Amino acid sequence: KAGVTQTPRYLIKTRGQQVTLSCSPISGHRSVSWYQQTPGQGLQFLFEYFSETQRNKGNFPGRFSGRQFSNSRSEMNVSTLELGDSALYLCASSKMQGAIPLNTEAFFGQGTRLTVV
């Protein structure tokens, strides 16, 4: 079956602009999480959506937002881009059943490399 698909793979934006990244989870997966990876901070959790609701949020400013659609596809948006937002943005999907955590694995996409100039 198809894996997690993230688009676009690469983006170059200017400071002050906004950007929208897209993630299509594995079919049947209802949980979608977003992560930011930078050389200095490593992999950091941004937020998670399940059934179109944000259930969990990391410690990022309000410029970072997201949403999930009824088909479980998710988008994340970063407004007023800063140079420090340059990073690899990763999306992961998992087969969560309701609010009960399962001993399960997360499947990651290849990421979107965002460069802010």
79 vs 41: CA distance, rounded Å: 20
Between CA 17 and CA 55, with CA 73 as vertex, the angle to 5 degrees is 85
Token duo for residue 53: 């609701």
User: From the CB of 75, what's the least distance to another protein, in Å?
Assistant: 16
The enclosing H or E element of 9 equals: none
Q: Does residue 81 belong to the site contacting another protein (CB under 8 A)?
A: no
Residue type, 64: F
Closer Cβ to another protein, 16 or 61, answer by number: 61
Q: Does residue 113 belong to the site contacting another protein (CB under 8 A)?
A: yes
Token duo for residue 93: 């999907």
**């950091």: which residue's tokens?**
44
Q: Does residue 12 belong to the site contacting another protein (CB under 8 A)?
A: no
Residues of span 13-72 touching another protein by CB under 8 A: 31-33, 35, 42-45, 48-50, 55-56, 58
Q: Which residues bind another protein (CB under 8 A)?
A: 4, 31-33, 35, 42-45, 48-50, 55-56, 58, 88, 90-92, 94, 96, 101-111, 113
